[in-house]
Chain A
Amino acid sequence: MTYTIEGKTGPWELVIGLEVHAQVISEAKLFSGAATSFGAAPNHQVSFVDAAFPGMLPVINRECVAQAVRTGLGLDAEIHLESRFDRKNYFYADLPAGYQISQYQHPIVGRGVIEIERADGSIRAIGITRLHLEQDAGKSLHDQHPSKTYIDLNRAGVALMEIVSEPDLRSPEEAGAYLRKLRTILRYLGTCDGNMDEGSMRADVNVSVRKAGEPFRTRCEVKNVNSVRFVMQAIEAEARRQIAVWEEGGVVSQETRLFEPARGITRSMRSKEDAHDYRYFPDPDLLPLILDPAWVEALRAGLPELPDAKKRRFMAEYGLPAYDAGVLVAEQASAEYYEAVARGRDGKFAANWVIGDLFAALNRTGRAIETSPVSPAALGALLDLMTDGTINGRIAKDVFEEMVASGDPPGEIVARKNLRQVTDTGAIEQAVAGVLAANADKVADYKAGKDKLFGFFVGQVMKAMAGKGNPALVNDVLRRHLA
């Protein structure tokens, strides 16, 4: 089913491509030794190279190159053993050299692919056109002085990976899924932290619309969108705008636009005519970047298991349905947590508890899984107490809540609160007899054919036993007594 937007003239399809700028995780900047950590005081992480002082020269940071190669490998992409750096020339106050060092004609990474999962569970492969390395610019602060602009160069020169997709995306949801999947992969690889709110991942969105079966129409680029939700909203808003233009007999002209989340619209930033002439040319300060194939292979060998592979393995190894596996691998920490619980136990049982009770508790308490109040070992121990019959599933829920609240191990809670399951048939017989005696009318109804009342009797017996009765034994005894 193709996603469409209904216009006055009928349905319109969307064609979307994304350019994602991902800040590389590295100690130092792309071409200087200056530090990169977020939140330093303004202009405290700036070298003379970053500030483009006279006579300063760029020297490539090997770790940034390794991160780009790792990312390329993680996107199943071609690694170009020879790539080049070009200068992209334009004047701006926060661009110290008057040019950005980027890779224009010969990027370090070529074609790759990202698989996204759609709402109906089907998989779509989205093409990656290229990934290249470039420098970030500094930041202009316009609100510090009534007439002047302040410049913070901490970010100037930080390494970015620009990851360009093919125009393969066909709906806001697919674009959202693509961004989330890309972010997951980058986080698994440890090459970008993916924090869109800190600006370490930003997206430029290319959108066009067309009637079914048509070739591509003119696209517009919506610049610098900084959350998955805004990307999806920007696509919808921009597509509706273009549909209106076409349907009113107008022509969409290629331009760069900005998304205004508060108003839910895009507005023109500059037209194609006003576009910069960047005068790209090879940076004469840098030699071509030549990679040793053995070095690339060593990086490949050092890659972590990536989400798609991990998902397939979870399905095969732990017998999980695709949905559960997908949820668990979305974050590396969740997958690790799950595996620590599931190893040597029933995989589906473990998944139910991690996805259900644990995730709910984390949401409720606002904790990340890395700082979960219940450790994987403790949750595993709780599962073991159910499996070996020490407690039943209902009691386990209570024990789990107590674990969340106190951080105590489950065995201790069970012992302290005397929650061990009652498997003594004598005690169960006694409780059953009491419940049946007190509900003679219902017993009569049951025997007259009201089968549903069985659940009521179970509930009453468990209540009488403070929830500790072994459910299987309670069922057996009840059946015998009601037979």
Chain B
Amino acid sequence: MSLTDLTLADARELLARREISARELSEAHLEAIEKLNPRLNAFITVTPELALAQAEAADRAYAAGEAGPLAGLPLAIKDLFCTEGVRTTAASLMLENFVPPYESTVTARLRAAGAVFVGKTNLDEFAMGSSNMTSAFGAVANPWTRAGDAAALVPGGSSGGSAAAVAARLALGATGTDTGGSIRQPASFCGIAGMKPTYGRCSRFGIIAFASSLDQAGPMARNVEDCAILLTAMAGFDPKDSTSADRPVPDFHAACTRGVTGLRIGVPKEYAAPGMPDEIAALWQAGRDWLRAAGAELVEISLPHSEYALATYYIVAPAECSSNLARYDGVRFGRREDGADLIEMYERTRAAGFGAEVKRRILIGTYVLSAGYYDAYYLRAQKVRSLILGDFTAAFARCDAILTPTAPSAAFAQGEKMDDPVKMYLNDIYTVPASLAGLPAMSVPVGLNQEGLPLGLQVIGRPFDEETVFAVADKIEKAAGFSARPALRAGG
């Protein structure tokens, strides 16, 4: 039995039965990180001391019969979550040495549940990217490679480090954040499961903001059930986040086994556009067949404004980011480059602290909010956003969940798509609509392409109906029987 190959649910069972100790479980993962992280670069900061202290606390809690729901389970934390006393960089030189004196609500909940934090994972700088190529701490390698080709592939982004860490068995699960697909697309690229919950389900307090109206934390793990266990601990109302939802958190774990009998699964006709690779279209069809066989009813739905979703997203998200990132000015924390006067200090600090993609988005965002352009861009984008939400509301009158591919391709090679930002942005074409509508959506691994790379399907649910999403995703997962593992993994 390999400790790093366990599911989170199984590890929890073994810990509870005290067949393994939290300490040995953590040590196994820390050893795997030590061995593989130099090749994967999935972690920006590894926290072995913190992890072992938490593991020992978990062992004591198990001994005392007071173990929390995640006691002793090694998790990786995206380096966008502020962790008290642990460097938090957002993968930016701007925060290269920033040590927050506070803890994000989500990680505080995980800590309270007894989880063990093995480290902070790499990401696209300030979560802006779909490849993890924009990190100031270097690219992350996808643990998967093409059959017969050793070229390093991207893990997707922005939660690429978390996805790679989970896929490579360096952690049992991880936190991610998803603004336009940053949990789902890397999950799909790395052959794991990832859930972006409803906007408001998890507190944003202490998560470094990219686009406030879209950012949402969620779990990443090797299967649907593990995601459900993690989300149950992460979610919940937080008075420190005005946009967090004051509603009870259901038992997501229990929802996984509900089945899909009688559920109506919507298939958006607009998504079956020419250009979708055959193998993705085939897996999408397989997903429909599995669900029908499991007792669900398939219905065709229409999401006519989805074709504008990407354009809308690339106005709304940069607009918010241009304002959210204004605080990185060198005055109070983070990087400072001295200048002859205030303006020069700003210019030099921000020139040195931000990478090219972040600067691009700040410029786009500043432009679309400017006098004379606001109505044509930002205001119009907000109107289209309402129409997109309206599409989903109408669709959910006819169905209970929606099935789509997660991403338009499998993982691509590091350095590909770097010449044209729009090509890169197209990665999010299937994930962005649910982000704009604030809906829960999950990627579940279903198969490999001809090159041996994983592909995922996406299940989208009604607002705050993560339970149905988990039930549908679980059914797909079971039917797909996805059991492939990446070449680069602990014990591999």
The interface-forming segment of B200-208, B412-420, B423-431 is B200-208
Q: Indicate if A405 sits at the interface (CB-CB under 8 A).
A: no
Q: Could you say which residues of chain A place their CB within 8 Å of the CB of B371?
A: 277, 279
Q: Please measure, in the bound complex, the distance between the C-alpha atom of A149 and the C-alpha atom of B342, giving whole angstroms.
A: 9
Q: Indicate if A381 sits at the interface (CB-CB under 8 A).
A: no
The interface-forming segment of B47-55, B99-107, B302-310, B482-490 is B99-107
Q: Indicate if B289 sits at the interface (CB-CB under 8 A).
A: no
Q: Indicate if B212 sits at the interface (CB-CB under 8 A).
A: yes
DSSP class of B's interface residues: helix, strand, loop or mixed? Answer: loop
- Known contacts A55-B206, A149-B342, A284-B212, A91 near B329 by CB under 8 Å: yes
Q: Could you say which residues of chain A place their CB within 8 Å of the CB of B333?
A: 51, 53-54
Q: Indicate if A38 sits at the interface (CB-CB under 8 A).
A: no
Q: Indicate if A290 sits at the interface (CB-CB under 8 A).
A: no
- Known contacts A55-B82, A55-B207, A93-B342, A284 near B332 by CB under 8 Å: no
A14 CB to closest chain B CB (Å) equals 30
Q: Could you say which residues of chain B place their CB within 8 Å of the CB of A149?
A: 342
Q: Indicate if B16 sits at the interface (CB-CB under 8 A).
A: no
A7-57 contacts to B, CB under 8 A, are 48, 51-57
A357-394 contacts to B, CB under 8 A, are none
Q: Is the CB of B242 within 8 A of A54?
A: no
Q: Could you say which residues of chain A place their CB within 8 Å of the CB of B237?
A: none
| Residue interface mask A57-72, B partner, CB < 8 A = 1 | 1111000000000000
Q: Please measure, in the bound complex, the distance between the C-alpha atom of A286 and the C-alpha atom of B206, giving whole angstroms.
A: 16
- Known contacts A98-B327, A98-B329, A59 near B366 by CB under 8 Å: no
Q: Indicate if A401 sits at the interface (CB-CB under 8 A).
A: no
Q: Could you say which residues of chain A place their CB within 8 Å of the CB of B82?
A: 54-55
Q: Is the CB of B374 within 8 A of A281?
A: yes
A86 CB to closest chain B CB (Å) equals 10
Q: Is the CB of A99 within 8 A of B95?
A: no
Q: Is the CB of B242 within 8 A of A53?
A: no
| Residue interface mask B72-107, A partner, CB < 8 A = 1 | 000000000110000010100001001011101000
Residue among B88, B319, B331 facing the most chain A CB atoms (10 A cut-off)? B331
Q: Could you say which residues of chain A place their CB within 8 Å of the CB of B39?
A: none
Nearest residue (CB) in A for B81 is A55
Q: Is the CB of B100 within 8 A of A55?
A: yes
Q: Is the CB of A93 within 8 A of B101?
A: no
Q: Could you say which residues of chain B place their CB within 8 Å of the CB of A99?
A: 323, 326
| Residue interface mask A262-301, B partner, CB < 8 A = 1 | 0000000000000001011100111100000000000000
Q: Indicate if B370 sits at the interface (CB-CB under 8 A).
A: yes
Total A-B residue pairs with C-beta atoms closer than 8 Å? 101
Q: Is the CB of A284 within 8 A of B206?
A: no
Q: Indicate if A97 sits at the interface (CB-CB under 8 A).
A: yes
Q: Is the CB of A55 within 8 A of B320?
A: no
Q: Is the CB of A281 within 8 A of B319?
A: yes
Q: Could you say which residues of chain B place their CB within 8 Å of the CB of A58?
A: 242
Q: Indicate if B213 sits at the interface (CB-CB under 8 A).
A: yes
Nearest residue (CB) in B for A151 is B331
Q: Please measure, in the bound complex, the distance between the C-alpha atom of A151 and the C-alpha atom of B331, giving whole angstroms.
A: 9
Q: Could you say which residues of chain B place their CB within 8 Å of the CB of A87?
A: 323
Q: Indicate if B11 sits at the interface (CB-CB under 8 A).
A: no
Q: Please measure, in the bound complex, the distance between the C-alpha atom of A285 and the C-alpha atom of B331, giving whole angstroms.
A: 23
Q: Is the CB of A279 within 8 A of B100?
A: no
Q: Could you say which residues of chain B place their CB within 8 Å of the CB of A280?
A: 369
Q: Could you say which residues of chain A place their CB within 8 Å of the CB of B207?
A: 55
- Known contacts A54-B82, A57-B205, A284-B320, A279 near B370 by CB under 8 Å: yes
Nearest residue (CB) in B for A43 is B332
B278 CB to closest chain A CB (Å) equals 40
Q: Is the CB of A51 within 8 A of B320?
A: no
Q: Indicate if A89 sits at the interface (CB-CB under 8 A).
A: yes
Contact of B242 among A52, A55, A56, A285 (CB under 8 A): A285
Contact of B209 among A55, A93, A277, A281 (CB under 8 A): A55
Q: Is the CB of A281 within 8 A of B242?
A: no
Q: Is the CB of A89 within 8 A of B369?
A: yes
Q: Indicate if B313 sits at the interface (CB-CB under 8 A).
A: no
Q: Indicate if B269 sits at the interface (CB-CB under 8 A).
A: no
Nearest residue (CB) in A for B207 is A55
New contact pairs (15) apart from A48-B102, A93-B331, CB-CB < 8 Å: A53-B102, A54-B82, A54-B208, A54-B333, A55-B206, A56-B205, A57-B241, A59-B240, A89-B322, A97-B327, A98-B327, A98-B329, A284-B211, A285-B212, A285-B242
Residues of B bordering A, CB below 8 Å: 81-82, 88, 90, 95, 98, 100-102, 104, 204-209, 211-213, 239-243, 319-320, 322-323, 325-327, 329, 331-334, 342, 346, 366, 369-371, 374, 378
The 10 closest A-B pairs by CB, nearest first: A98-B326, A279-B369, A284-B213, A284-B212, A55-B206, A52-B327, A54-B208, A55-B82, A277-B371, A97-B327
5 sample A-B contacts, Cβ–Cβ < 8 Å, listed by A number: A53-B333, A57-B240, A93-B329, A96-B331, A281-B374
